[in-house]
Amino acid sequence: MESKRARLDRYLAKALQIPRKQVRLLLMSGKVEVDGLLAKDMDLLIDEFNTISCDGRVLQACSPKYFMVHKPVGVVSATKDDEHKTVLELLPEAERSGLHIVGRLDLNTSGLLLLTNDSRWSEALMQPGAHVSKEYLVTLGNPLTEEYAPAFAAGMYFSFEDITTAPARLEVLDSHIARVVLTEGKYHQIKRMFGRFRNPVVALHRSRVGGLSLDENLAPGHWRALTRDEVQQALRDIGS
Ligand code: URA
């Protein structure tokens, strides 16, 4: 999802379908407002969440939206799908417009999924250099042994993509249950890492993304808006 930052003069030329020269005159004549303030600077950087008006006419007014969803097993992390219900369809239609998914979960994975219309926020969370941690509870078909944690910490080489996974933390919670913390999201990463031990993942649940944990009161299939603090909290461990 691309960030939509643009220079004000470029935005106005496109939105009003007028040449830049005319845009300059418009700005100089004091007819343009950004977030209720007079805007004369054509270099001003604006994004999709600035309210922009010209001559009293609102050209754009859109507020950022942030949601956490408790994704159930069997619901697909997509905005459209012909076969399965999508996470977007868990929200009422009135809330869905402009939303995209921040990092996917497999069809048979449950847990915390984030949705937003703020591409800068989702990019900050998802860019590879951000190393945002994601915590999973993993139930396995076979018992865990002492070999797992060092192997996860050392990283595993996957020849198919020619990658070595970043150090991951594995904590044994019970004979067949582990808590795993990843700082990346390679294709089917957890299943493939346990696959190295020929140990099938029976259930996979994401409980945390960055500093944001799944609300315990949110039943599978339910959602809620993030608070302002939570929006910041999700970004808490970026780059660490
Ligand atoms: N690892 C997986 O294998 N699946 C997920 O959905 C997330 C991490």
Which pLDDT tens digits describe the chain residue by residue (240 residues)?
455 789 999 999 999 999 999 999 999 999 999 999 999 998 999 998 999 999 999 998 888 999 999 999 999 999 899 999 999 999 999 999 899 999 999 999 999 999 999 988 999 998 888 889 999 999 999 999 999 999 999 999 999 899 999 999 999 999 999 999 999 999 999 999 999 999 999 999 999 999 999 999 999 999 999 999 999 988 887 765
| Residue 85, domain CATH | 3.30.2350.10
> Which residue is catalytic, options 106, 118, 174, 237?
106
**In-domain check, residue 150:** yes
- Please tell me whether residues 140 and 227 are part of one structural domain: yes
CATH of the domain at 18: 3.10.290.10
Ligand 1, atom 3, residue with closest C-alpha: 188
User: Looking at ligand 1, which atom is closest to the CA of residue 201?
Assistant: 3
For residue 184, what are its two tokens? 């990346």
Residues 22, 126, single domain; the answer is no
CB 136 within 8 A of CB 179: yes
Q: For ligand 1, which residues put their CB under 6 angstroms from it?
A: 105-106, 109, 188-191, 204
In a domain, 122, yes or no: yes
Q: Which of 60, 83, 103 is the last residue of a domain?
A: 60
Domain termination residue (choose one: 60, 80, 103): 60
- Catalytic residue list contains 215: no
> How far is the C-alpha of 45 from the C-alpha of 178, rounded, in Å?
46
pLDDT at 127: 87
Instruction: Look at residue 217 in the predicted model and tell me its pLDDT.
Output: 96
Residue 1 lies in a domain: no
* pTM for the full predicted model: 0.85
238: in domain: no
Q: Strand 157-158 relative to strand 134-140: parallel, antiparallel, unpaired?
A: unpaired
Beta strands 134-140 and 201-209: pairing type? antiparallel
User: In total, how many domains does the chain have?
Assistant: 2
Closest-lying ligand 1 atom to the alpha carbon of residue 104: 6
126 and 184 share a domain?
yes
Residue bearing the CA closest to ligand 1, atom 7: 105
In a domain, 239, yes or no: no
One domain, residues 107 and 45: no
pLDDT of 48 reads 87
Taking the C-alpha atoms of residue 113 and residue 130, their distance in angstroms, rounded to an integer, is: 18
Separation of CA 133 and ligand 1 centre (Å): 13
- Residue 135: the pLDDT is 97
Same domain, 37 and 78: no
Identity of residue 53: S
Q: Which domain holds residue 105?
A: 66-233
Please provide residue 68's backbone torsions phi and psi, each rounded to the nearest 5 degrees: -110, 140
